[in-house]
Structure 1
Amino acid sequence: MHAAPLAIVIALLLATLLLASLRRVPEGQVYTVHRFGRFVRALPPGLHLVVPLVDRIAHQVHLIGHHVELPARPLGRTTASADLYYQILDPLRTGDALDSVDEVVLRQADAVLAEVGPQAENGWPVAAEALKAELNRRMGGLGLRIIRCSLHPGA
């Protein structure tokens, strides 16, 4: 006689555990999953299972609409700042860099800006295109794409 209430309690616990394991990632976003504080995987849009009490959603990252500003840096004989707009094309290739994707783009842009300095002699638009092309070449392996780049005289 006591087996029925016990079976109901167990069924309710299992249903609760299943519901706690489900995560729905909206279209246009990706979630990073951390286990014991370390990146384990990225969840693309859709319905996914995670291990409750072990896995934690660390960041919710939008795939499009990213904008970063590179502060004024030397560019040829002058200084320039840059506005970069980018999107994440392949979040699985981006991997644990998703947790700090803006910083990754800024570090790469800082390194590349020194290389395209001589292009500034041909005008700002030429230097901006050179910066965009080189950044796309370097970050393509990470699943990132610079969609717009503009350079401005620094202060």
Structure 2
Amino acid sequence: MTALALTASVLFALALAALRRVPQGEVHTVHRFGRYVRTLAPGFHLVWPVLDRVAARVLLIGHHLELPTRAYGPMQAGGDLYYQILDPVRTGHALERVDSLVLDEAAAVLEEVANMSAPAEAGFSADSFKKALNERMSGLGLRIIRCSLHPG
């Protein structure tokens, strides 16, 4: 009888260790042996105890980044970006470095937009920057909600 109780206790403890709860508004990335395996959406999930570990907890909304002021093409500019993660599964393993990914893409897009617009033109605006950046980010499940540019 005690062996049965001990076995039941061990199985219950393993079940509790395998159960993970992800709160609304965030996702968790799971690593197995140090490599990205999957993304856990909000709700309850089972993970393999000892093999899997939650590597990162990522908020889906409320991201704010500052673009440092530097030369982009013929002009100097900096700015603020606000973005959200629409599809964390599409973002995948990049969730763990999503801020640096958005900053790198924003710098590349700002460089392209700045080079396409002559300095005297009014075509270089936050709207054109936001549109071009959203076109790039849509494939990753990200969306720029608001941005502002500050001339250097």
TM-score range (shorter-chain normalised) is over 0.9
Displacement after TM superposition at 1:119 (Å)? 6.7
Query: Which amino acid in structure 2 is aligned with residue 100 of structure 1?
Result: R
Task: Select the residue among 99, 103, 106 that pairs with 1:109.
Answer: 106
Task: Select the residue among 88, 97, 106 that pairs with 1:100.
Answer: 97
| Preserved CA contact (<8 Å) 1:75 1:120 | no
Displacement after TM superposition at 1:106 (Å)? 0.6
| Preserved CA contact (<8 Å) 1:119 1:130 | no
Closer, same or farther in 2 for the Cα pair 1:22/1:66, shift >3 Å? same
**Correspondence for 2:131:** 133
Alpha-carbon distance in structure 2 between the residues aligned to 1:100 and 1:116: 24
| SS across alignment from 2:125 | helix
| Preserved CA contact (<8 Å) 1:87 1:145 | yes
Alpha-carbon distance in structure 1 between the residues aligned to 2:15 and 2:121: 61
Closer, same or farther in 2 for the Cα pair 1:87/1:119, shift >3 Å? farther
**Correspondence for 1:44:** 41
Closer, same or farther in 2 for the Cα pair 1:30/1:120, shift >3 Å? farther
Query: Which amino acid in structure 2 is aligned with residue 148 of structure 1?
Result: R
**Correspondence for 2:144:** 146
Q: Structure 2: 5+ residue runs without aligned partners?
A: none
Structural RMSD (CA)? 1.5
Determine what percentage of the aligned residue pairs are the same residue. 58
Displacement after TM superposition at 1:120 (Å)? 5.7
Closer, same or farther in 2 for the Cα pair 1:103/1:110, shift >3 Å? same
Query: Which amino acid in structure 2 is aligned with residue 153 of structure 1?
Result: P
- Compute the TM-score of the two structures, normalised by the length of structure 1: 0.92
Displacement after TM superposition at 1:69 (Å)? 1.1
**Correspondence for 1:8:** 5
How many equivalent pairs are there?
A: 150
| SS across alignment from 1:85 | strand
Alpha-carbon distance in structure 1 between the residues aligned to 2:34 and 2:49: 14
Closer, same or farther in 2 for the Cα pair 1:120/1:27, shift >3 Å? farther
- Compute the TM-score of the two structures, normalised by the length of structure 2: 0.93
Displacement after TM superposition at 1:76 (Å)? 5.0
| SS across alignment from 2:82 | strand
Q: Which has the higher helix share?
A: 1
